[in-house]
A and B are shown apart, each in its own frame.
Chain A
């Protein structure tokens, strides 16, 4: 499986964010997208996820078998967690919604996913009592409970504490070892092992 972007360009609000962005990602590889605020990191992830149409160029998944939006997980600041539902109900919903394509294949039980992220004892609590970091952990738990080959993580360490960051790095390592791909947008240094890097700034991608 290969993820390939060709000559991607993105225009938001009449402003060109980046142009001619091309990269390839093979199974097991990771890509770190860095750059200042507003450079277009999130827009790039949304384009890969199929949530945003690029102004030019294209994204293709070779030997994937599924369309891009069904192969990717997108985790961002807007985590889609409903405060009125319990933590477990939120995760079960994500599993039912996003896990359909890979029924049971290598998936982790929702309860196990929660305890991996340190939320094991909070399953029955309504999600509105969670702190920002715990909400982020809940959003990350769907990566384990509803397996998908490509993870698109937008500032995944924001609001996470040191242990949370370590757990996430461990999850990313295991995911890559199984042949998964990870694209991380971050303005901090996330210590990913031998990750490729793209720096977007002022409309240029390096």
Chain B
């Protein structure tokens, strides 16, 4: 257990210090949301309608940024060898690294979402719902991306491969996330779409580390 905590703390420190890249996702998210109104034009009703969708697309793409480095950096500098010499199963190591990555780059997205939602004219009472759906959904995307990160660990330019592998599988999360938010805007509350979102996210939380460990074992042979 202490080894797992040590892995989470180390990855958090590395991500949050200079050059760690934790802020890249938030800045990307911010720029995307800021340029949307310029592209769409000063049409408030339209912006209101597409606001939740834009927030979800932005958060989804921002979550993918940096995911390819989760294992590649450790593979390059030999840390992965040291991790494999510990008594912790590779699946749990992958989960710990995924959790640390989400804390450093996924959670900030959730925190800035209400603010960015205001810029897109999302109804104030729906802002909390958008943030909630992202709080539930982004860990699923991150852990889904772990599998792709494991596959591309030894490839020098694996970033795009990861995005191509992850995006199609993340579509259910996107659909149920946006549907939940739209329902909230209409005042219908959290219903079955939100439960579907939770279920899919939980599914990826379990599957991701197992798939990542299998991919890493295969890649390193």
Interfacial residues, chain A to chain B (CB-CB below 8 A):
46, 49-53, 66, 69-70, 72-74, 76-82, 84-85, 89, 92-94, 96-98, 100-101
Residues of A within 8 A of B77 (CB): 78-82
Residues of A within 8 A of B84 (CB): 50-51, 69
* B1 nearest in chain A by CB position: A100
A72:B85 contact, CB within 8 angstroms: yes
- Measured CA separation A73–B85 after assembly (Å): 8
Residues A70 and B10 in contact in the complex (CB < 8 Å), given A51-B81, A80-B79: no
A78:B81 contact, CB within 8 angstroms: yes
Residues A100 and B87 in contact in the complex (CB < 8 Å), given A79-B78, A80-B82: yes
Residues of B within 8 A of A100 (CB): 2-3, 86-87
A70:B79 contact, CB within 8 angstroms: no
* B9 nearest in chain A by CB position: A93
Residues of A within 8 A of B18 (CB): 84
A93:B78 contact, CB within 8 angstroms: no
Contact among B76, B85, B87, B220 with A74 in the assembled complex (CB-CB below 8 Å): B85
Report B24 CB to chain A, min CB distance, Å. 15
- Measured CA separation A61–B80 after assembly (Å): 23
Residues A80 and B81 in contact in the complex (CB < 8 Å), given A85-B14, A96-B6, A100-B2: yes
- Measured CA separation A82–B10 after assembly (Å): 9
Given A50-B85, A97-B85, 11 new contacts (CB under 8 A): A49-B81, A69-B85, A70-B87, A74-B85, A78-B77, A78-B78, A79-B77, A82-B10, A85-B10, A93-B10, A96-B3
- Measured CA separation A94–B78 after assembly (Å): 12
Contact among B5, B6, B79, B221 with A82 in the assembled complex (CB-CB below 8 Å): B79
Some 12 contacts from A to B, beta carbons below 8 A apart, are: A49-B81, A51-B84, A52-B221, A74-B82, A78-B76, A79-B78, A81-B77, A84-B13, A85-B17, A97-B6, A97-B86, A98-B82
Q: Which 8 A-B pairs have the closest CB atoms?
A: A78-B78, A96-B6, A80-B79, A80-B78, A84-B17, A80-B82, A97-B86, A84-B14
Report B214 CB to chain A, min CB distance, Å. 15
Number of interface residues of B (CB under 8 A): 28
A97:B82 contact, CB within 8 angstroms: yes
Does B20 sit within 8 A of A, measured CB to CB? yes
- Measured CA separation A73–B7 after assembly (Å): 18
Residues A76 and B19 in contact in the complex (CB < 8 Å), given A96-B2, A101-B87: no
B86:A76 contact, CB within 8 angstroms: no
Does B83 sit within 8 A of A, measured CB to CB? yes
Residues A76 and B6 in contact in the complex (CB < 8 Å), given A69-B84, A70-B87, A89-B13: no
A94:B2 contact, CB within 8 angstroms: no
Residues of A within 8 A of B19 (CB): 84
- Measured CA separation A97–B220 after assembly (Å): 20
* A66 nearest in chain B by CB position: B87
B20:A84 contact, CB within 8 angstroms: yes
Among B3, B6, B81, the one with the most A-chain Cβ atoms within 10 Å of its Cβ is B81
- Measured CA separation A97–B20 after assembly (Å): 21
Contact among A51, A52, A81, A97 with B7 in the assembled complex (CB-CB below 8 Å): A97
Residues of A within 8 A of B220 (CB): 51
Among B5, B77, B88, the one with the most A-chain Cβ atoms within 10 Å of its Cβ is B77
Q: Which of B8-55 contact A (CB under 8 A)?
A: 10, 13-14, 17-20
B3:A85 contact, CB within 8 angstroms: no
Residues of B within 8 A of A52 (CB): 221
Residues of A within 8 A of B79 (CB): 80, 82
Residues A98 and B13 in contact in the complex (CB < 8 Å), given A78-B81, A80-B79: no
Report B15 CB to chain A, min CB distance, Å. 9
- Measured CA separation A152–B87 after assembly (Å): 17
